[in-house]
Amino acid sequence: MIRTRFFLSCIAFLLITLALLSLHSRYGKQAWIAQELTANRKLVANLALTDLALWTEARYTRHPALADFFAPFQDAPASFEHFPAGSIIAPRLPGVSTTLRVRKPPVGAPK
């Protein structure tokens, strides 16, 4: 049974590692929420930031939230994606929440 014992101790070791990591996750999260979340929120609120400063290679990757609808093609329609980060992040959601419906007034209607 020496192999079983060895194997089970390996599994136990891995489980303990995972338990420690989940503790790390828990306390890491709590620490971030306690120390940095509020400060970062204040920063974002005061400077009206809209995006993560992750990809600085192109306008639409630096500010995906504010990008034009057809940003990837804006300079040469139907060109292939140029920037690597542009292929990592998903295209902006197709729907726009604010839209205008324009209706032609019926003929003869009072202005």
Q: What residues numbered 11-30 form the site for other proteins, per CB under 8 A?
A: 11, 14-15, 17-18, 21-22, 24-25, 28-29
Which residues are within 8 A (CB) of 29 and not within 5 positions of it... i.e. 6 or more apart? none
Is residue 48 at the binding interface for other proteins, with CB under 8 A as the rule? yes
Q: Please identify, using beta-carbon distances, which residue of 101 and 108 lies nearer to other proteins.
A: 101
- Gap between the Cα atoms of 1 and 21, Å rounded: 30
Chain-centroid distance, C-alpha 31: 22
Q: H-helix or E-strand containing 82?
A: none
The residue ranges that bind other proteins (CB under 8 A) are: 1, 3-4, 6-7, 10-11, 14-15, 17-18, 21-22, 24-25, 28-29, 32, 35-57, 59, 61-62, 64-66, 68-70, 74, 83-93, 96-100
